[in-house]
Amino acid sequence: MYQPDWEESFALFISLACVSVMAILFGRKTAGTKLSTINYARGLVVALYLVSLIFSIIACMLVQTNNNNLLSCELTIISCVALYAFSKVIIYLFLMEKVYVVTAVGVTRANFFLYKVNMLLLTPYIGVVTLMVLYRNAVIEANEGGKCYVGLFRPGAIPLILYDIVMSIWLTFLFLKPLMSSTSLLQGPSKGKLRDVARRTLLGSLIALILSSANIFSLVYFNGRERGLVCMACCTLDVTLNAITIHWVTNRGKGRQNTERSTVNRRGGRGVNSPSQQYGVGVGVGADKQVGPLESHISVTVESYVEEYHQLHYGGSSSQHY
């Protein structure tokens, strides 16, 4: 009778725990949300949750079939490379969108030079992923009971670490610069809230960078010979923790949501004019839908505060300029 060792049991436990966590986060993020209300930014967050959930489900299957199975061993490293790279692209696009929201006032993405530059900087990642595929390793050690060992050799791992560090620092800097500047257009009553968003985003970026760097560094340390199910568990945990970090960054907390909901209700029900109304900009049902906080969505972080600026200066929702 086959008896799994402690590494296999622990890897399976990690994978099942990640499936449960991602199912909960995905449910909280999409609860009560109509498909028509999911814009590009929210779609990126939901896509990250889906990729992380799929990654965790695949990990559950592979860690149970890893020994004495060359196909499962190959699929382990391929899944790590493909789904891990896909999740990182989504995170980069998420940071690019936040940069666009706080820097491009009244400019479409197609006409925003910095957005084009960031998208261009994303193209070298194709080469990085190609190196990861070419310098991957997957072997079955018959003299060790058929254990699977996978990993990345240094030519495939080091470019990934360097690229991740450079892109994370660059995009985080672009996002923080207008929020922390005293001359930024995004100042006024929402300045404190924006700075809180900046702190959360900075911390979230650092956490994601540390997690990813540690995971890839482990592959370098073992020189492409890390046990397959352990590697799969680490990659699954890395992707899941990154998704949890994004969830924390885009979720302001129940207390603050209730406070701002009561503020919106007082403005609408007691005749207290919002800044948009004081400038003669009518805030109708559509605008309230944009400005009002929604449960656990990215629109409740930066976008909801930037929205009134667009209304004051352009007489409409910022979504009209997308």
Contact between 47 and 298 (Cβ < 8 Å)? no
Contact between 231 and 219 (Cβ < 8 Å)? yes
Place of tokens 């409740």: 300
- pLDDT of 168 > 60? The answer is yes
Question: Exposure of 33 by Cβ count < 10 A (0-12 exposed, 13-18 middle, 19+ buried)?
Answer: middle
- pLDDT of 241 > 60? The answer is yes
Q: State the pLDDT confidence band at 128, using cuts at 50, 70 and 90.
A: very high
Q: State the pLDDT confidence band at 122, using cuts at 50, 70 and 90.
A: very high
Phi, psi for 139 (deg, rounded to 5): -135, 155
Q: Give the least confident one: 31-40, 61-70, 142-151.
A: 31-40
- pLDDT of 124 > 90? The answer is yes
Q: What is the mean pLDDT of residues 45-66?
A: 89
| Per-residue confidence (pLDDT) for residue 2, from 0 to 100 | 64
- pLDDT of 183 > 60? The answer is no
More confident residue, 4 or 300: 4
| Per-residue confidence (pLDDT) for residue 194, from 0 to 100 | 63
Q: What is the mean pLDDT of residues 73-86?
A: 88
228: left (phi > 0), else alpha (psi -120 to 50), else beta? alpha
- pLDDT of 290 > 80? The answer is no
| Per-residue confidence (pLDDT) for residue 181, from 0 to 100 | 63
More confident residue, 251 or 302: 251
DSSP-assigned states of every residue in 143-174? GGTSEEEEEE-HHHHHHHHHHHHHHHHHHHHH
| Per-residue confidence (pLDDT) for residue 68, from 0 to 100 | 87
- pLDDT of 126 > 90? The answer is yes
Structural domains in the chain? 7-250 (1.20.1070.10)
Instruction: Read off the tokens for 247.
Output: 């969830």
Q: State the pLDDT confidence band at 252, using cuts at 50, 70 and 90.
A: low
The answer to whether the predicted template modeling score (pTM) of the entire model surpasses 0.75 is no
| Per-residue confidence (pLDDT) for residue 80, from 0 to 100 | 85
Residues of the chain with pLDDT > 90, as a percent, come to 12
Residues of the chain with pLDDT > 70, as a percent, come to 71
Contact between 298 and 41 (Cβ < 8 Å)? yes
- pLDDT of 313 > 70? The answer is no
- pLDDT of 145 > 90? The answer is no
